[in-house]
Amino acid sequence: MTDSSASPEPPRPSLGRIFWVFLVMGATSLGGGVVGYLRTTLVVRQRWLDDVTFVELLSISQTLPGLNATNMSILVGDRLKGGWGALVATLGMCLPGAALMTGAAFAYSIGGDDPASKAFLHGIAAGAVGLIVVVMVQLGSRVLKTPADYVFVVLTAAAVAGFGVSVPYVLIAAGAVAIWWHRPRDRSTK
């Protein structure tokens, strides 16, 4: 006997559909805002993942070397269609950026010292920093809950930017202290 109240699982997308969705994301996502865009596409529009699964896969992708969007495409593609799904999702995500960067490198080799080219690159750099700041504020407002969380952020930034400590060392140290700080405490002891 089946439970009629449970909603049926949506059909798995084809390899072509996976490629197309990731190709569109790869062509239209910019800079640091890609995490929100990935969630909107994969959870809200396509309904390939739920929020819990998305956060789990995002956590894995952020701990791995490489770009989050590429790591997510591999993990989501594999979840949807195995190895072939991972391959076509990764190709879809990476092809637009690779084509654009190849074209930009060619254009830069022709007129890279031109003042207009330099101005364009400075504008792109400013826009990228702006996108990163926006995502940082959006995610920070959702994740940072206590004053201690903000202290960890400031100390981490100061260690890397102010004192030149290597990022992996800072992340290991800050992570260990933050885990200890946020550990479950037994409130019943007197």
> What count of Cα atoms within 13 Å lies in the side-chain half-sphere of residue 61?
21
Q: Residue 186: what pLDDT?
A: 76
Rounded to an integer, what is the distance from CA 9 to the centroid of its chain?
26
The mean pLDDT value of the chain amounts to: 84
> Bigger pLDDT: 175 or 190?
175
Per the model's pLDDT, the better-predicted residue between 59 and 71 turns out to be 71
Average pLDDT over residues 72-79: 96
Kindly report the backbone phi and psi dihedral angles of residue 183, in degrees, each rounded to the nearest multiple of 5, phi listed first: -60, 150
Residue with tokens 């596409």: 41
Domains of the chain, residue spans: 15-143, 145-183
Both tokens of 138, joined, read: 């959006």
C-alpha separations of 39 from 7, 35, 50 in Å = 21, 6, 9
What percentage of residues in the chain have a pLDDT greater than 70?
Answer: 87
pTM over 0.75: no
Q: Of 103-107, 112-116, 174-178, which has the strongest mean pLDDT? A: 174-178
Residue that wins the pLDDT comparison between 61 and 136: 61
At 48, the pLDDT band (50, 70, 90 cuts) reads very high
Q: What is the pLDDT of residue 1?
A: 47
Q: What is the per-residue pLDDT for 10?
A: 65
